[in-house]
Each structure stands twice: as structure tokens, then as C-alpha cells.
Amino acid sequence: MLTQVDVEMAEFGVSPRHGFLPDELPLRRLSDPYYSSWEDIIGCLPDLLKRKTLRSRVNTLPVLSTSHLQNLREWQRAYQVLSFLTHGYIWNSAEGEQRLPPSISVPFLEIASYLGLPPTATYSALNLWNFEAATPETDLSRIENLRALHTFTGTEDEEWFYLISVAIEAHGAEIIPVMLNAMTGIRTKNSHLVLAALVKFGYCVREMGAILRRMNEKCRPDVFYQQIRPYLAGSKNMAVAGLPKGVFYDEGDGQGEWRQFSGGSNAQSSLIAFCDVVLGVEHCDTKDSGSKNKFFQEMRNYMPRSHRTFLQRVEDMASIRDFVAAQKSVPELGAAYNFAVDELRKFRDIHIQIIARYIIRPSKQYAPKEDTGRNLAVASSTKPDAELHGTGGTQLLPFLRQSRDETKNTALG
């Protein structure tokens, strides 16, 4: 283990104020008129999707160059815009569209490569870079202070769904430097510093859970299940929705490639991954308990490259769990650690409750409407609970329960 690593958060695009959210508010629009055709379409996206005219509009677009993107915020904005256009284009019909035209494919592949992300609608596009606030000083952990930049449906329900995640990310930002300091403090066996950090972590995660519970306030389960969720699906394991090979990213002149991606998922949150890393929570494959869970490892590739590198660096720091286990003369330290673990377990329990209300129950109540897309609605409607799949592509309840139980089992005896 490397125990001499001090992590400079800003180096990895992690904000001292906002955590994995950008330090500056996301751009509302690309200012260069060269990209006005993209901005014009996303500005009326819900209406185009409702009228089933998005594909015809996109098919008339020229293939724009990325050479006019000047800074990181512009690259992120371009990625976000093309993420929404991609999923809108694919899922705006009874069956998914198998071909993505060059007007999206060519620039999207370049932009995604630049950011170290897959060319699909990730957690970054839907949440981290999809909000606005009155000022940069606004408290981003208060949902009432936020607005979503874009939605597929134009509903308050979808906006609220995204902003819950933004507020959780903003609130959780405060524990990142706290836990990094605690890990650094292990070098000097500073038990008091580690104990205080673990207590802070536990209460912060408890408050993150309280934010997650607020999903019920303005996001209706039927609207989420029937109108919003179909657009969040990926192109992986979607044969039932008419995508047996995924989506062909057409690059023109007969060039291109079939690609399959998971949809947007909370497993792509660098904050939740950070919580697991600092507490030493290990997620394993069900078939091989000694190997890391392939889905969690794959979801790292759906995080911005700099965030992935940050998490790898944190993994190389001293283990809080090992340190606490060795300090048997300080029983309060073990209690604080177990308190932190239990709050993270409770957070995952709340997530399971949300899934039950927004996916499991509606899957039994609603037959999929043809005009909402066949993807997850059809895939969910005929399967028992244990076989329902999430937007990330995993079996929903078994995956979430295993993650919850693995968190619980991290506690020290």
C-alpha cells in the first residue's frame, strides 16, 4: 500500500466545494453560432420527441467539427447535448433505432474520447453536467435552488429525478476532503482524526439518504416508469427492444461500428464509488466471490477519466478499515467505523425502496404504451422481480440487494 500519497483534488477535476460536480456551473449553451443547430434541436427536444420528428430533424444536420470547442466546459456541454440527442434518436419509437447517423456519431465519438467517456447518455450527462443555479455561490444541495438544463419529456417529474442526484452529489462533497485527511492521518496513527471523520461521514450519508427519500415529492412512479425510464435505457442486452447487436454508429462512407452500452445508472456516480473505497466495501462477482464485481468495474469506464484516476489514487492510500481493526485499544473508533458503514447500508436500503416503488410495482400495473418505446417497459412487463433489469443492464433487485449486503458485511465484529 502507498501510505505517503496526498491527493490534490483539483488535479483530478474534483471540486473542493462541489465534489464531483463541476466547480463552475455547467454551460447553458454553446456560445459559438457554429453549434446553433445542435442547440436549437435540444432546446425543443421534448416537443420533437412528442411529435415523433426528432429523427427527421437530426437526419438533416451537417457533420460538425469539434475544432470550435475551446475549453473543458464546452466539451462537457457538447457531450451532454449529443447524449440527449442520441438517446432521443434511438428510443423515439416503438422499437429502438439501430443506426445512429454520422451527424451525431462522428462528433460524439470524438467528444467522448476526449473526455474519456463512452458515447452514450451517462450519469455525467444526465446529472453532473445537467443543472443550473442562480449563482455559483448557491447551495447546490438544496433541490429548490436548482433547475435541470434538459429533459426528454419536459415534465417536472423528470427534472426532479435528475436534481435529486445533483443535490446528493453536492451534499456529499463535504466528506471527500474529510476522508482524504483521515486516510493521510493514518500515517501518524491519528485515531481522533479518523474517528471524527467517520462520524462526519455517517451523518453526511444519512442526510444524503434523506435527500433520496424526497424523490417521492415531485416524481410520480407512473410518469417515471412509462415516460422517462424508456429514454434512459442503453443499447446493451436490448434484443427485446429491437437492438440485437446494439446500435451502429455510422461514420459515413460505409464506415462505422456496432456498439453496445449500458444506460445511465447511479452505479456511475463517483461519489458512491468513493464512499465504498474509503470504507473498504468490496463488491464481488456472484460466481466468483474472490474477484471484483465486473459491473462495478465496468461502470468506472462510464465516469469521467479524471474521476476514475482519482478513485484509483484513493484506492492506493492507507486502508481506514485495516487501521480501525488494528486499534483495538480504542473501541470508540470501531463503533464510529461501524456507524459509517451502517449509514451507507441504510442509504442503499432507501435506494431499494425507491426501485420497488418506481420500477417493481409499476411493472406489474402498467402494460407498456407503444408510443413510449419498447425497451425497458417491455423488458420489465413480463418478467418476475428477480429478472427485472435496470438501465445499467444488471438484474435489478439481486444486484442492489447484493450491494447492500456487501456493505453491511464490511462492518467490523
The torsion angles phi and psi of 219, rounded to 5 degrees, stand at -115, 110
Kindly tell me the burial class for residue 201, based on how many C-beta atoms sit within 10 Å of its own C-beta (0-12, 13-18, 19 or more): buried
Amino acid at 190: N
d(CA 375, CA 382): 12
Nearest to 74 by CA among 146, 129, 19: 129
351 assigned ligand-binding residue: yes
Q: Which distant-in-sequence residues (6+ apart) come within 8 Å of 142 by Cβ?
A: 167
Q: What is the DSSP string of 3-67?
A: ------GGGGT-BTTTBTS-SSPPPSS--SGGGHHHHHHHHTHHHHHHTT-HHHHHHT-----ST
Helix axes 72-91, 102-115, angle to 10 degrees: 140
The cell for 330 is: 480504542
Q: What is the DSSP string of 197-225?
A: HHHHHHHHHHHHHHHHHTHHHH--HHHII
Q: Which residue is it, cell 444506460? A: 263
Q: Which distant-in-sequence residues (6+ apart) come within 8 Å of 406 by Cβ?
A: 281, 282, 283, 284
**Total length of the chain:** 413
Which residue ranges are tagged as binding site for heme b?
351
List, as residue ranges, the binding site: 351
